[in-house]
Amino acid sequence: MQQFPLFGDVADVRERLAGVGYLADDAIATTVFLADRLGKPLLVEGPAGTGKTELAKAVAAAVSAELVRLQCYEGLDEARALYEWNYKKQLLRIQASGGDTSWDETHDDIFSEEFLLSRPLLTAIRRSEPTVLLIDETDKADVEVEGLLLEVLSDFQVTIPELGTIVADRRPFVVLTSNATRELSEALKRRCLYLYLDYPGAEREKAIVLARVPELPEELVEQLVRTVRALRAMELKKAPSLAESIDWAHTLLALGLNTLDEEAVRTTLGVVLKHASDQARAASQLKLS
């Protein structure tokens, strides 16, 4: 398996991610660079809406690689993650031949490329062009899937009994994301580089919102970020994250509001806080009524 580094150095990561609209800080840029150079999968954890999935997409866009995505859910199995034989087509093939051919021929025929349904993991391994493999919400999958991931991600090879072992020509850049609804196994964590994406600092948040919604005046963004940070400091069920800040900025733009006063916050609070109890609490603490 050959190694083709995607990035030159940490500054290069930063620049190219910025080029596709993802503002990375030192920690993000360094970790992405290391994941590329050490050829290790990158495990990204953090609260919802801090840009975990976005990071994978940005890396793919920055190096013009294709993004192969495996969305995890409860009950995800090998057949959905790795590969599956298209048994309906195989059945048709056997019936169509009408018993003229011998078993050996049929056998060789129905277990060939044509009848293989390739799922995201196998697809990513077989590609010869640059690939970013995104395994999204890994914590939602069952524990057995982790075992499968361990096997695939440590050697980047898959054994299909009927076809033999398939080895990756080119190691994909792997990003796993998790919301930490459960603790991932130590074994999986050990094989990955770990990046925790928390709510960004005030300055970085401002820069990100400005980059995403450039039409908004800077003072308004400053005000918005400060208000969001005040909300985060309250004890809420779900604190607003970066995604909510950006949504809020879009909302203000769409409504043509040019200042964030009590009235504006009261009417648009639903964009940032998604629980009735959180809204009530924020309204009373910000003295909105």
**CA distance linking residue 181 with residue 188, whole number of Å:** 16
Stretch that binds other proteins, among 107-115, 211-219, 221-229, 250-258 (CB under 8 A): 221-229
* CA 271 from centroid of its chain's CA atoms: 23
Least distance (Å) between residue 175 CB and other proteins:
13
Instruction: By CB under 8 A, tell whether 198 contacts other proteins.
Output: yes
Torsion sign over Cα 257, 259, 264, 265: positive
| Segment 125 to 184, residues that bind other proteins, using CB under 8 A | 139, 142-143, 180-183
Length of the chain: 289
**Residue 230 sits in the site that holds other proteins (CB under 8 A):** yes
The residue (of 126 and 191) whose beta carbon lies closer to other proteins is: 191
**Binding positions for other proteins, 82-111, rule CB under 8 A:** 87-88, 91
Considering only 1, 9, 48, 267, the residue that binds other proteins (CB under 8 A) is 9
Nearer to other proteins, 99 or 164 (CB): 99
Range 158-167, long-range pairs (CB < 8 A, 24+ positions): 158/82, 158/83, 158/121, 158/122, 158/125, 160/83, 160/116, 162/111, 163/111, 163/112, 163/113, 163/116, 166/122, 166/125, 166/126, 167/1, 167/125
Q: Which residues 6+ apart lie within 8 Å of 184 measured at CB?
A: 43, 138, 139, 146, 178
- 190 makes contact with other proteins (CB under 8 A): yes
Q: Interface with other proteins by CB under 8 A: which residues?
A: 9-10, 26-27, 29-31, 33-35, 37-38, 40, 43, 45-46, 74, 87-88, 91, 139, 142-143, 180-183, 189-190, 192-196, 198, 201-203, 223, 226-227, 229-230, 233, 235, 237, 261-262, 265, 276-277, 280-281, 285-288
